[in-house]
Amino acid sequence: MAVNRMFRTCPMTGLRVHQPAEALIKANAVAAVVSLLVGGVLALLVTLTRWPAVHLLPADWYYLVLTAHGINMLIFWIIFFEIAVLYFASSTLLGCRLAAPRLAWFAFLLMVLGALINNYAVFRGDSSVMFTSYAPMGAHPTFYLGLIVFAVGALIACFVFFGTLIVGKEERTYIGSVPLVTFGAITAAIIAVFTIASGAIILIPTFLWSVGLVDHIDSLMYRTVWWAFGHSSQQINVSAHVAIWYAIAAILFGAKPMSEKVSRFAFLMYILFLQIAAAHHLLVDPGLTSNWKILNTSYALYLAVVASMVHGLTVPGSIEVAQRAKGYTKGLFEWLRKAPWGNPVFSGMFMSLLGFGFLGGISGVILGTEQLNIIMHNTIYVPGHFHATVVLGTTLAFMAVTYFVIPAIFRREVSFPKMAQWQPYVFTLGMTMVCLFMMGAGTLGVPRRHWDITFAGNPLGFEFPGMAFLMMGLMGIGGVLAVVGGAMYLLVTVHSVFLGKKIQTPGFAQVRVVEGAAPAPAQPVSAALQAHGGVGAWSAPGTFALAMVFLTAFVLYYFINWNYLSTVWPLR
Amino acid sequence: MPEATRNVTSQVSDELEEGIPVMQHILDNPFILLFLGVVVPTVLYVIWGVMEIIGIPIAK
Amino acid sequence: MSAILPPEQRVWWKQPIEPIEITWIVVAFIWGLIMFLMMPYWHVFGKQNLANEAYRATPEVFVAKTQAMVDKYQVREETDQKIPVVRPPAGSDVYLIARLWQWWPMLELEEGQSYKLHLMSLDWLHGFSLQPENINIQVHPGYMHLLTVQPSKAGTYAIICNEYCGINHHTMVSRLYVVPKK
Higher pLDDT, A327 or B60: A327
Query: Do C57 and C40 belong to one domain?
Result: no
In a domain, A425, yes or no: yes
In a domain, C3, yes or no: no
The string of pLDDT tens digits covering residues A85-136 is: 999 999 999 989 999 999 999 999 999 999 999 999 999 999 999 999 999 9
CB contact under 8 Å between C14 and B21, yes or no, is yes
Q: Which residues contact C181 (CB under 8 A, 6 or more apart)?
A: C110, C111, C112, C113
Inter-helix orientation angle A78-87/A219-253, to 10° = 50
For residue C146, list its beta bridge partners.
C53, C118
In a domain, C141, yes or no: yes
The residue of B12, B24, B35, B45 whose CB has the most chain A CBs within 10 angstroms, and thus the best one to mutate to test that interface, is B45
Residues of A in contact with C14 (CB under 8 A): 528-529
Closest Cα in chain C, distance from residue A395 (Å): 21
The residue of C11, C13, C118 whose CB has the most chain B CBs within 10 angstroms, and thus the best one to mutate to test that interface, is C13
Residues of A in contact with C13 (CB under 8 A): 260-261
Residue in A257, A289, A370 closest to C39 by CB: A370
Question: Identity (one letter) of the amino acid at B38?
Answer: V
B40 touches A at CB < 8 Å = yes
Which residues of chain B fall short of a pLDDT of 70?
1-18
pLDDT over 50 at A530, yes or no: no
Closest Cα in chain B, distance from residue A78 (Å): 21
- For residue A510, the model assigns a pLDDT of 66
**For each successive 10 residues of chain C (182 residues), what is the average pLDDT?**
79 87 95 97 95 94 97 93 94 96 95 96 96 95 95 96 95 96 80
Q: Write down which chains contact chain C via at least 3 CB pairs under 8 A.
A: A, B
- For residue B39, the model assigns a pLDDT of 97
- For residue B5, the model assigns a pLDDT of 47
CA distances from A33 to A76, A79, A481, C38 (A): 9, 11, 19, 43
The residue of A186, A285, A567 whose CB has the most chain C CBs within 10 angstroms, and thus the best one to mutate to test that interface, is A285
For residue C145, list its beta bridge partners.
C54, C119
- For residue A2, the model assigns a pLDDT of 63
Mean pLDDT, rounded, for A338-347: 96
The string of pLDDT tens digits covering residues A376-416 is: 999 999 999 999 999 999 999 999 999 999 998 888 999 99
In a domain, A350, yes or no: yes
Residue in C5, C32, C52 closest to A288 by CB: C52
- For residue C21, the model assigns a pLDDT of 92
Whichever domain contains C84, its CATH number is 2.60.40.420
Residue in A260, A443, A525 closest to C7 by CB: A260
CA distances from A338 to A325, A326, A342, A400, A424 (A): 13, 11, 10, 19, 18
Give me the domain span that covers residue C23. Answer: 15-45
- For residue A534, the model assigns a pLDDT of 46
Q: Which residue of chain B has the CA closest to A175?
A: B13
In a domain, B8, yes or no: no
Q: How far apart are CA A560 and CA A426, in angstroms?
A: 30
- For residue B15, the model assigns a pLDDT of 55
Chain centre distance of CA B18: 21
Q: Is-contact A127 A143, C-beta < 8 A?
A: yes
In a domain, C7, yes or no: no
In a domain, B2, yes or no: no
What is the rounded average pLDDT for all residues in chain A?
Answer: 92
C15 touches B at CB < 8 Å = no
Query: Do C72 and C144 belong to one domain?
Result: yes
- For residue A15, the model assigns a pLDDT of 80
The residue of C123, C134, C163 whose CB has the most chain A CBs within 10 angstroms, and thus the best one to mutate to test that interface, is C134
Tell me the count of B-C CB pairs closer than 8 A.
29
The string of pLDDT tens digits covering residues A411-435 is: 899 999 999 999 999 999 999 999 9
Closest Cα in chain A, distance from residue C53 (Å): 6
pLDDT over 60 at A528, yes or no: no
Which residue, A104, A114, A107, is CA-closest to A143?
A114
Give me the domain span that covers residue A95. Answer: 4-451+464-568
In a domain, C2, yes or no: no
The string of pLDDT tens digits covering residues A202-226 is: 999 999 999 999 999 999 999 999 9
pLDDT over 50 at A171, yes or no: yes
The string of pLDDT tens digits covering residues A41-51 is: 999 999 999 99
Residues of C in contact with A175 (CB under 8 A): 6
Count other C-beta atoms under 10 Å from residue A342's C-beta: 12
Query: Do C74 and C100 belong to one domain?
Result: yes
For the ranges A26-40, A204-218, A319-333, B2-16, the lowest mean pLDDT is seen at: B2-16
Whichever domain contains A106, its CATH number is 1.20.210.10
- The residues in B 1-30 lying below 8 A from A, measured between CB atoms, are 2, 5-6, 9-10, 12-13, 15-16, 18-20, 24, 27-28, 30
Number of independent structural domains in chain C: 2
Residue A14: band (very low, low, confident or very high) from pLDDT cuts 50, 70, 90: confident
A121-142 as b/e: b if 16+ CB within 10 A: bbeeeebbbbbbbbbbbbbbbb
Mean pLDDT, rounded, for A334-356: 96
- For residue A506, the model assigns a pLDDT of 61
pTM passes above 0.80: yes
Q: How far apart are CA A348 and CA C63, in angstroms?
A: 55
In a domain, B5, yes or no: no
Q: Write down which chains contact chain A via at least 3 CB pairs under 8 A.
A: B, C
Q: How far apart are CA A383 and CA C162, in angstroms?
A: 13
Q: What are phi and psi of A41, to 5 degrees?
A: -60, -45
- Percent of chain A at pLDDT above 90? 85
pLDDT over 80 at A313, yes or no: yes
Q: Which residue of chain C has the CA closest to B15?
A: C10
Q: Which residues contact B21 (CB under 8 A, 6 or more apart)?
A: C11, C13, C14
Q: Is-contact A158 A110, C-beta < 8 A?
A: no
- For residue A17, the model assigns a pLDDT of 86
Number of independent structural domains in chain B: 1
Higher pLDDT, A13 or A161: A161
DSSP string, B5-34: HHHHHHHHHHHHHTT--HHHHHHH-HHHHH
Give me the domain span that covers residue B44. Answer: 21-60
Number of independent structural domains in chain A: 1
Q: Is the ipTM of this complex over 0.90?
A: yes
CA distances from C171 to A117, A459, A516, C158, C160 (A): 31, 10, 68, 12, 8
Q: Is-contact A18 A97, C-beta < 8 A?
A: yes
Residue in C3, C12, C133 closest to A250 by CB: C3
C144 touches B at CB < 8 Å = yes
- The residues in A 505-544 lying below 8 A from B, measured between CB atoms, are 514-516, 518, 521-522, 524-525
- For residue A522, the model assigns a pLDDT of 44
Higher pLDDT, A396 or A529: A396
Query: Do C77 and C23 belong to one domain?
Result: no
Strands C83-86 and C106-110: parallel
φ/ψ region of A435 (left if φ > 0, alpha if ψ in -120 to 50, else beta) reads alpha
Query: Do C26 and C92 belong to one domain?
Result: no
Tell me the count of A-B CB pairs closer than 8 A.
115
Mean pLDDT, rounded, for A14-40: 93
Residue in C28, C131, C161 closest to A310 by CB: C28
The string of pLDDT tens digits covering residues A478-525 is: 999 999 999 999 999 999 999 999 887 665 666 665 444 444 444 444
